[in-house]
Chains A and B, each alone.
Chain A
Amino acid sequence: MKNCEYQQIDPRALSVLPSSAQNHTEKKAQRPRRKWEVFPGKNRFFCDGRIILARQNGVLPLTLSLIIVTCGLFFAFDCPFLVKHLTVFIPVIGGVLFVFVVLSLLRTSFTDPGILPRATPDEAADVEKQIDTSGSSTYRPPPRTKEILINQQVVKLKYCFTCKTFRPPRTSHCSLCDNCVERFDHHCPWVGNCVGKRNYRFFYSFIISLSFLTSFIFGCVITHITLRTQAGKTIVQAIQESPARYPFLELVVCFFSIWSILGLSGFHTYLVASNLTTNEDIKGSWSSKRGAEDSGNPYTYNSIITNCCATLCGPMPPSLIDRRGFLPHDEAIPAVSASEIELPPFTAKNDAHMVG
């Protein structure tokens, strides 16, 4: 190795991998743990970190059962009649919609909504240092904010005491999940997860397809009962005759859900078109009532089509929390001279963890 003024750091010397540990005496010999096992937020993980859910997901089973049961009744009782009297496409369309709804729902529930990992101790210390140097007193100061300019508009960034970082714009801390979520929309109990940057498009396709599904089932059931009454019977007779009151049950479920689902779809379509989140809309962050000169939404592209495309068809951002990565070994294993040992190529990942 050549002499240099600075200690030439051979990147390979800094990488610490489980395989190289066998060369050294180790205090512990446990299986390597994955990061999801020590995740600080209130989330639950399944399939070894592949699936993430909020801890409180009590209503998700209800949502799923309502959808499955209603569709089951539809296929069992309405379809045979309608196929005979109308067309065979009825169950086909119903089936496609049902599959789409369930897949979107599961995708929304099991996807990381855009959780921001908490700051490392070094980062937190750096931020604290910067705040202190701006003249605050030694006791815990009032909520810290930082003002920045986004597209020539003043936006306040708040400091999150749990995650120990200044929240990026449009990020909010969900108290139910105890995580900061990027482009936080809302925490949806029906879906059992937060809706944020990464799963908003799944959520939107879920509610849109569910609107179509409920309207479709509602229409089919009405048609079914109407066709039966046309044969000269009253509605009551028709309901009593058809394999039970099940179509009536579907009618009730669909009737009540249609109003709420259609309303929600309409609301979210408006949000998508104006590039807003539910959180911002509720707080009135960008409403003109605030009185500031230019308090329009700084994130909008000023075109409905571009807003829709950006929100729904934009690039899919990656998950920032690396659920399935392995935790680093706690002790800093001294590196034997790297030139004598074949180490795998340099990976920055392990270095950062080791020195942090």
Chain B
Amino acid sequence: MAETHSLQDLQQPAVSSKVFVQRDYSSGTICKFQTKFPSELESRLDKQQFEETIQTLNNLYAEAEKLGGKSYFEGCLACLTAYTIFLCMETHYEKVLKKIARYIKDQNEKIYAPRGLLLTDPIERGLRVVEITIFEDRSIGSGR
């Protein structure tokens, strides 16, 4: 499968800068990110697309942290089993986190990667920020 490639093909796209979308604490300690559009992305991305991504992420995190019958049931069941049930069962939160990871991967493939951007899953950053990496604009003639 070996083939010769030009040096440019072998080079990684260089990181130009990173943008950090901070947490929005206006509703308390629940996980929510600011929907304010960063100015560095103006040339690359639509404001509406960005807001939609962040809003969907916020909704997913809200679903994970929702207080309701299901989470209370899980909590009570865990207490009755002296919390040993967490060793064998995946919590609701973890299930939603997997959903979020799939969503981010999907967004990266469809929207962000074609524009030279990369979304990092906030869980990689301790749910503090949504990191968006901006890659250098290298408009080369031929693709791979």
Query: Are A201's CB and B142's CB within 8 A?
Result: no
Query: Are A314's CB and B20's CB within 8 A?
Result: no
Query: Are A313's CB and B131's CB within 8 A?
Result: no
Partner of A168, one of B23, B115, B125: B23
B residues near A310, Cβ cutoff 8 Å: 67
User: In the bound complex, what is the Cα–Cα distance between A122 and B18 (angstroms)?
Assistant: 8
A residues near B143, Cβ cutoff 8 Å: 1-4, 8
User: In the bound complex, what is the Cα–Cα distance between A210 and B86 (angstroms)?
Assistant: 22
Evaluate whether A315 and B91 lie within 8 angstroms (CB atoms) in the complex, with A201-B79, A355-B133 already known.
yes
Query: Are A169's CB and B25's CB within 8 A?
Result: yes
Evaluate whether A351 and B65 lie within 8 angstroms (CB atoms) in the complex, with A3-B141, A316-B91, A334-B12 already known.
no
Indicate if A151 sits at the interface (CB-CB under 8 A): yes
Query: Are B144's CB and A5's CB within 8 A?
Result: no
Partner of B140, one of A7, A165, A313, A332: A7
Residue of B nearest to A345 (CB): B105
User: In the bound complex, what is the Cα–Cα distance between A119 and B128 (angstroms)?
Assistant: 9
B83-108 vs A, Cβ < 8 Å mask (1 yes, 0 no): 11010000111100100010011001
Query: Are A352's CB and B124's CB within 8 A?
Result: yes
Query: Are A349's CB and B12's CB within 8 A?
Result: no
Task: Count chain B CB atoms within 10 A of each CB in A99, A182, A313 and give the residue with the most.
Answer: A313
User: In the bound complex, what is the Cα–Cα distance between A321 and B128 (angstroms)?
Assistant: 12
CB distance from B59 to the nearest CB of A (A): 15
Task: Count chain B CB atoms within 10 A of each CB in A151, A168, A312 and give the residue with the most.
Answer: A168
Indicate if B55 sits at the interface (CB-CB under 8 A): no
Indicate if A341 sits at the interface (CB-CB under 8 A): yes
Query: Are B116's CB and A9's CB within 8 A?
Result: yes
Partner of B109, one of A165, A168, A322, A346: A346
Query: Are A348's CB and B141's CB within 8 A?
Result: no
Residue of B nearest to A16 (CB): B12
Query: Are A7's CB and B26's CB within 8 A?
Result: no
Query: Are B10's CB and A117's CB within 8 A?
Result: no
Indicate if A142 sits at the interface (CB-CB under 8 A): no
User: In the bound complex, what is the Cα–Cα distance between A353 and B20 (angstroms)?
Assistant: 15
Within 8 A of B (CB), among A76-123: 99-100, 103-104, 107, 116-117, 119-120, 122-123
Query: Are A334's CB and B11's CB within 8 A?
Result: yes
B104-143 vs A, Cβ < 8 Å mask (1 yes, 0 no): 1100110001111011110111111101010111111111
B residues near A6, Cβ cutoff 8 Å: 114-116, 137-139
User: In the bound complex, what is the Cα–Cα distance between A165 and B29 (angstroms)?
Assistant: 16
Indicate if A22 sits at the interface (CB-CB under 8 A): no
Evaluate whether A11 and B109 lie within 8 angstroms (CB atoms) in the complex, with A123-B131, A335-B12, A339-B144 already known.
yes
12 contacts between A and B (CB under 8 A): A3-B142, A6-B139, A7-B139, A14-B118, A103-B84, A123-B128, A150-B28, A313-B74, A316-B91, A337-B3, A337-B10, A340-B1
Q: Which residues of B contact A (CB under 8 A)?
A: 1, 3, 5, 9-13, 15, 18, 20, 23, 25-29, 64-67, 71-72, 74-76, 78-79, 82-84, 86, 91-94, 97, 101, 104-105, 108-109, 113-116, 118-121, 123-129, 131, 133, 135-144
Not counting A315-B71, A351-B133, a sample of 16 additional A-B residue pairs whose C-beta atoms are within 8 angstroms of each other reads A3-B141, A7-B140, A104-B83, A116-B128, A119-B128, A168-B128, A309-B67, A316-B74, A317-B65, A317-B93, A318-B91, A337-B10, A348-B104, A348-B121, A349-B121, A352-B131
